[in-house]
Structure 1
Amino acid sequence: MGFLEILIIGVGLSMDAFAVSICKGLSTRMLKLKHALICGGYFGFFQGIMPFLGYVLGIQFKDKIESIDHWIAFILLALIGINMIKEAFEDEETCNTEFSPKVMIPLAIATSIDALAIGVTFAFLNVNILSAVSIIACTTFVISMIGVKIGHVFGMKYKSKAEIAGGIILIGMGIKILLEHLHIFG
């Protein structure tokens, strides 16, 4: 899996963090650079660490399920993508205006659980995990910072669209992995 594919997965994974960042930007009266840096830092860090943890878990089972690893990757990516699209149509949650660790850590963990599952798929696909987590973390950092600004300027208009886009991206990557392993594509 190359840089562009990892970047696309990083963009897809970051859409939950982007949506929450929009919400944080919306709820902030006096937006400062530190608000965007806090969101980017927390979300980027957890989006980077979770795939690594998933990779460590996945590598334990790699030899036992290598013949069906492409199906596992497809199913995990599709389920995560479908869930993101489903969440886009659910009622809007209210935003907490705090940027304290007690608020940001649970948000960062909640938005990065999907990345844990992606890390498991990386173990089956022989991905350079350090490169992948760096790309995902940096992508999420930047997108989350942008989300805070967009939320402050435009409000909730783009939140559900971001979740739908992220879901579609992840489903598309799952289909691509499956088709490549079945020798239909690539």
Structure 2
Amino acid sequence: MAEYYIGEIISLLFMAFALGMDAFSVSLGMGMQQLRLKRIAIIGLAIGLFHIMMPFIGILLGKFISEGIGDFATIAGGVLLLGIGAQMIINAFIQDTKQLIEPVGFGLLVVALTVSLDSFSVGLGLGMSGAKTALAIMMFGAASTILTWTGLLLGRKVRGFLGVYSEILGGSILCGFGINILMM
């Protein structure tokens, strides 16, 4: 029984890292704007908060859906994770490098919402598969906050080549979890 919980925690940790990689890649670009440390802290906290709210809503909705459709919900959750991962990989290659929105005020909310939309879908899949809600959302929020801060700080030093690779890595991890759920 303890092995099951350790396995679930490790799976959620990898998933949190994969979701945070999207925030990391976006924050690399924002970090190249030479933001002040206070702004970096605010951006990281905002993205982390959205990575808590969005999957929480998704998990609640996923649990509601799974009660009505049973085993099909697990398959749908696996397909959803696989699709999100594939989308992240594809977007890494067709990404536009222009910064359209400044991470201040309403622009910060738009950036945080946009970066965390994939975590809503993952939360939906997790809710269908019966994951631990509090543990999942706290891991998602912490990982995305830390990875956002890391990306913003590294963005000051690095000039863009890590962004594509981090999104590919995150997408690959989500694809792997989707395939794992489908194989069960």
The normalised TM-score by structure 2 is 0.91
- Work out which of the residue numbers 155, 167, 179 in structure 2 matches 1:175: 179
Q: Are residues 1:57 and 2:61 paired?
A: yes
Q: Which runs of 5+ in 1 are unaligned?
A: 181-186
- Work out which of the residue numbers 8, 14, 38 in structure 2 matches 1:8: 14
Measured on the aligned residues, the alpha-carbon RMSD in Å equals: 1.5
In structure 1, the residue matched to 2:91 is 87
**Are the aligned partners of 2:52 and 2:138 in contact in 1 as well (CA < 8 Å)?**
yes
Q: Are residues 1:151 and 2:155 paired?
A: yes
- Work out which of the residue numbers 34, 41, 45 in structure 1 matches 2:45: 41
Q: Are residues 1:19 and 2:33 paired?
A: no
Paired residues, what number?
178
CA distance in structure 2 between the partners assigned to 1:168 and 1:86 by the alignment: 11
CA distance in structure 2 between the partners assigned to 1:126 and 1:97 by the alignment: 36
Q: Deviation of residue 91 (structure 1)?
A: 4.1
Q: Deviation of residue 70 (structure 1)?
A: 2.3
CA distance in structure 2 between the partners assigned to 1:144 and 1:120 by the alignment: 23
Taking only the aligned residue pairs, the percentage that are identical comes to 28
Show structure 1 runs of 4+ deviating over 2 A.
95-99
**Are the aligned partners of 2:101 and 2:111 in contact in 1 as well (CA < 8 Å)?**
no
In structure 2, the residue matched to 1:116 is 120
Letter in 1 for 2:130: N
Q: Secondary structure at the match of 1:116?
A: helix
Q: Secondary structure at the match of 1:154?
A: coil
Q: Which runs of 5+ in 2 are unaligned?
A: 1-6
**Are the aligned partners of 1:17 and 1:43 in contact in 2 as well (CA < 8 Å)?**
yes
**Are the aligned partners of 1:37 and 1:145 in contact in 2 as well (CA < 8 Å)?**
yes
**Are the aligned partners of 1:27 and 1:95 in contact in 2 as well (CA < 8 Å)?**
no
- CA separation of 1:122 and 1:97: change in aligned 2, threshold 3 A: closer
Letter in 2 for 1:21: S
**Are the aligned partners of 2:103 and 2:111 in contact in 1 as well (CA < 8 Å)?**
no
CA distance in structure 2 between the partners assigned to 1:166 and 1:39 by the alignment: 20
Q: Secondary structure at the match of 1:153?
A: coil
**Are the aligned partners of 1:74 and 1:177 in contact in 2 as well (CA < 8 Å)?**
yes
